[in-house]
Every structure is written in C-alpha cells, then in structure tokens.
Chains A and B, each alone.
Chain A
C-alpha cells in the first residue's frame, strides 16, 4: 500500500483553479520532494493532504485512509511541520511538545518519553524549561519539528524545513530526515532549495500552475531533458571569435560562456566531443579541461516551470507561501 495516494486532486478558490486534478503516489519510506515556484499549488496541496483545507474534488489517501471520510485515522498517522515555525512563544519548549502530544491523544507516559527523546535529538533538552519565545529562528524550527514528530508519525509533511536556517539547525534537521528514511517513515517535503531536494529526495514532483510538470527520481528527471545536457570546455587561451566557432558545431543547440569555460548544450554529448576535438586541432585550440554534464535539477525546474530559480526563491521569501 502506498503511504500517500493522490487521485485527481483539485482545489478551486472561486474561479481560480489552484490545484488542477493532480495524481501521484508516494511509497512507504520514500522521501518525496514537492517543488514549484510560489503560487504553483505546493502549500494548497499540502493543506489538502493534511485535512486543513477542503478538497474541491478528487481523493487523498494516507496509508489507505481517506483524508475526507476517515480524517481522524489519516491524521493520526501524520506529522506536520508548517513553513512558519508555529510554536507557542509563551510556552516552554517542553510544554509545546507536550501540548502537541495531547492533541494526538497519546498516553501521558508516551508523551513524556517522546518529548524527552525529541528534545534531546534536536539539542533542545537543556533549554526545555525556557520559553519558546526566547529561542532563535533555528531553535524554533527544531522545536516545530520535534512537535511534528511527537506522535511518531508514519508520514511526515515538511514545508520548507531548512529555509533560512543556521548551519547547526540545517545539519540537525537533515540528519533527522535521513534517520526517518532509515526508519521507513515517509517524508513529503516542499522546498525552494533545489539542491536540498536533489540530495535528500528519492523522487521529486515539480508542480507549476496547479499541474504536475514532471515527476521522477532527480537523476531520471534530469535525463528526460536531453537538450540540457552539455559539454564544458576550457582552452589554454581565449581567442576572439571562439564562441562563434563553437556555435557552428552541428550538434550544438546553444552555448554560454561561464568564466574561462564554454558550455555547449547538446542532445548528443559523445558525438559533439569528437567534433570538438577535431575543431580544436583545426583551429589550433588547446583544451585544458573537457567535462560532460547533465542538467542540474535547478535547470530542469527552470525548464519545466518557465521561471528562474532566483525569482522563485525571492517570491518565497516575500510571501509566506499561500499558494
């Protein structure tokens, strides 16, 4: 059974279709990244999957439990970490975790044990009696994560888990996510950090304008966009007109100059390598490095969404993610 199954999920706000009949499934123990520019429908999807927003049409199942008709059973299996660290500033770290445990109807002894374990894991146990309001941004984020894990969920929803955090907090949170994967916990995370998704996720889905633009393992997703494969070459001396000479190569679909390197985009890297060597000999150019490159996940994202990643990041920082 899939941990998350989404069938034709749609959300309308009046005439606006925020999420348009999306379909995907996430296997148990999988770390699944949900990427997209701001306004693409990421947060709306998470809110529907977690029962916080009404679904217009379609279904969402959590370990077989329908989030609409079997809400409580579905929610019991989830942990939710919102984009904003929604801790109670006026409560201590300990009271925050205990309160989260009470909402899941856990036994007192389990709440106490889980609270202690989680605060230790997130390096907050020494500060457990301090008010959360006195914590730094990173500490609040860690506390939010501890609260999201208090019920030992089988599926964890993480909305931008490490965005804008200090190195220590990022490290702790990444370690915990990796540890959850080892424990067969399914992690569904949204992020603007493409590199984070690249190194953390087993599979990623890219959503744009409410529809899934691509879904696969990061490496496979990169391979699907052949035109973004490239050969990077650097010569011992840069002569005027080299760009034009390289652009004339029959297999080249585009060329950019990045520092002392030329990046030649092609659908056929082996073929262009041969042409490049012949051209270098003919033009008396001496290559000092040649590297073949696949597209980065960021380039795939940009190609599929039509947005620059910087634009997406900026939008995410200025808007709390009400997409």
Chain B
C-alpha cells in the first residue's frame, strides 16, 4: 500500500477514535440530548407563531438554524476544556496529524447535528404534513451543513485559550449575523441588492438553499452550486483549522 494512502487511513482511524471519544464524553449526555432536541421546537414556536409561513419555507429555515447551532455547540466548548485539563496535549503528542485532530473534533459535531436534524425533520414531516421531494439533496444538505459548521466551530476553538466564554463570544460574532444574512429569517428574494451580495458569502445561504430545494424544489443557486460551495467551504475550514492548530503548537 502506498505510504500516502496508509497515512490517510491512519489519520481517518485517529479521527474516528477522537469522534467516538467526543460523542461519549460530550454529546451523549442526557442534558445535552434533551436541550438539543428541544432547540428546534423552541425555534418553531418562535418562528411560526403569528407568522403566515408555509411549511415548505418554515421547515428548511428551522433545519438550517438547528444544524448551525447543534454543529457549533460543543466543539468550541470541549476544546478549551481539554486545553485546561491538558487532555488536548494527549492528542498533540500522539502519532497523528493535526488534520486528524481537526477532522475528529468536527466529525463528532457533524454526526450529532445530523442526528438532531433528522429527528427534527421526522417530527416536522409528521406535524406539518409535508414530504421530501429530493432525498439525495436532503441528505447532502444535512450532512454537508453539519460537517461544514462543525468544522467552523472547531476552527474558532483553535484560538489558544482555556476560557470557553472567549471562544463562544467570538463564535457568536459570526454565528448570529449569519442567521440574518442567509435567508433564514428574511427571504433572500426580498433582500435589497447589497443584502444579496452579502448573502452570497455565507455558507448558511447555500445550506438553506439546498435543504429548501429538497422540500419544494425552490432554489436560488441550484443544488450543484450549493453542494460545490459547501464542499469548498468545508475544505477551506478544514485546511485553515489544521494550519491554526499547527501554529498554536508554538
């Protein structure tokens, strides 16, 4: 087997080990599960009550918010904690690449966010009585959005601090504006030209567009563009994450 394939397999194995460890320690806790499952329903109440929105518009928006917050909720918390307890050093001293550490930390968040998204979708489909038209687009939307934003969370956690609050504050500076410029609260079609220009730079715009396409075939950019942008964003986040964690070894 060529050395580079062996190296990739090695890193994937390590990333999977880190993801399993994170799932066990941080995600599969009753309090985390309950609050994460309740999140989309609280959002539903905040979103739907008193607004005349069709289910086909409502559910993709809810899913996009749910995936964004579920994927970025634990990674930026767990890594500063592990820095404080020095368990993060265990990863840095192991014979694995920084890429494997970033991928592993992101993978656990992505699996968790996808699971929450699927449960929220299942309940949404029953309650709102709608269906999924493009199951492949739906799966791609859930999976790519989850891993993309989970990696974004891991990227923010590369800021070398043991203080969770510092990372979360920085993350919220990006996370909250994303909601308003990505067509989740305000439909992109009704935005002014400058709003649309800004929306094009948000990966959440494409995530929302792809998920909406899965439900009612409405799309601004087309599913292929949505997938391409999300994959590109994921690669940029992963590479940037690896570089920043490498630098933090200083």
Q: Do A and B bind each other?
A: yes
Residues of A that sit less than 8 Å from B by CB: 13, 50-54, 71-73, 75-76, 78, 80, 82, 84, 86-91, 95, 99-100, 102-105, 147
When distances are taken between beta carbons in the complex, the residues of chain A under 8 Å from B87 are: 86-88
Interface string of B77-94 (1 = CB under 8 A from A): 000000001110111111
Tell me which residues across on chain A come within 8 A of B47, comparing CB atoms: none
Which residues of chain B in 11-60 are interfacial with respect to chain A, using CB atoms and an 8 Å cutoff? 13-14, 17, 21, 24-25
CB distance from A237 to the nearest CB of B (A): 57
* CB-CB under 8 A for A105 and B13, given A71-B95, A80-B93: yes
Within the complex, the shortest CB–CB distance from A238 to chain B, in Å, comes to 53
The complex places the Cα of A104 from the Cα of B10 at a distance, in Å, of 9
Q: Does B96 contact A (CB under 8 A)?
A: yes
Indicate if the CB atoms of A54 and B21 lie closer than 8 Å: no
The reply to whether A54 and B93 form a contact with Cβ atoms under 8 Å apart is no
In the assembled complex, the Cα of A102 lies from the Cα of B22 at a distance in Å of: 14
Chain B neighbourhood of A72, CB < 8 A: 7, 10, 95-97
A86 touches B86 (CB 8 A): yes
- Partner among A76, A82, A89 whose Cβ is within 8 Å of the Cβ of B95: A76
With contact pairs A75-B94, A105-B14 given, residues A95 and B24 touching in the complex (Cβ less than 8 Å) = yes
| Minimal Cβ-Cβ distance residue in A for B13 | A105
Q: Is the CB of A53 within 8 A of B90?
A: no
Q: Which residues on A sit within 8 Å (CB–CB) of B21?
A: 88, 91, 95, 99
Give the number of residues in B that approach A within 8 Å (Cβ atoms): 22
Query: What's the A-B contact tally at a CB cutoff of 8 Å?
Result: 69
Q: In the complex, are the beta carbons of B95 and A84 less than 8 A apart?
A: no
Nearest-neighbour CB distance to chain B for A46, whole angstroms, equals: 10
- A320 to B, closest residue via Cβ: B86
27 contacts between A and B (CB under 8 A): A51-B92, A52-B92, A52-B249, A53-B249, A54-B250, A72-B7, A72-B95, A72-B96, A76-B95, A78-B93, A80-B93, A82-B86, A82-B93, A84-B85, A84-B86, A86-B86, A87-B87, A88-B21, A88-B25, A88-B87, A89-B85, A95-B21, A103-B14, A103-B91, A103-B96, A105-B10, A147-B90
Bound together, the chains give a CA A278 to CA B25 distance in angstroms of: 75
Whether the pair A99, B17 counts as a contact (CB closer than 8 A) is: yes
Majority SS at the chain B contact face: helix
| Nearest-CB residue, chain B, relative to A98 | B17
Q: Which residues of B contact A54 (CB under 8 A)?
A: 249-250
A53–B247 Cα distance when bound, in Å, is: 10
Pick the contact of A103: B17, B24, B85, B89 (CB < 8 A): B17
* Interface positions of B (Cβ within 8 A of A): 7, 10, 13-14, 17, 21, 24-25, 85-87, 89-97, 249-250
Question: When chains A and B are docked, how far (Å) is the Cα of A306 from the Cα of B221?
Answer: 71
Q: With CB as the reference atom, state the residue of chain A lying closest to B97.
A: A72
A82-B89 CB under 8 A given contacts A54-B249, A103-B17, A105-B13:
yes
The residue of chain A having its C-beta at the shortest distance from the C-beta of B92 within the complex is: A52
With A75-B93, A88-B87, A103-B91 given, name 12 new contacts (CB 8 A).
A52-B93, A53-B249, A53-B250, A75-B94, A78-B93, A80-B93, A82-B86, A84-B85, A86-B86, A87-B87, A99-B17, A105-B95
Across-interface contacts of A84 in B (CB, < 8 A):
85-86
Given the known inter-chain contacts A50-B93, A75-B95, A104-B94, please indicate yes or no for A86 contacting B85, CB distance below 8 A: yes
Q: Are A102 and B89 in contact (CB under 8 A)?
A: no
Is the beta-carbon distance between A86 and B89 smaller than 8 angstroms?
A: yes
Cα-based distance from A177 to B86 in the complex (angstroms) = 23
Rounded to whole angstroms, the CA-CA distance of A147 and B86 in the bound complex is 14
For the complex, give the distance between the alpha carbons of A51 and B24 in Å. Answer: 28
Q: Across the two chains, which residue of chain A brings its CB closest to B25? A: A90
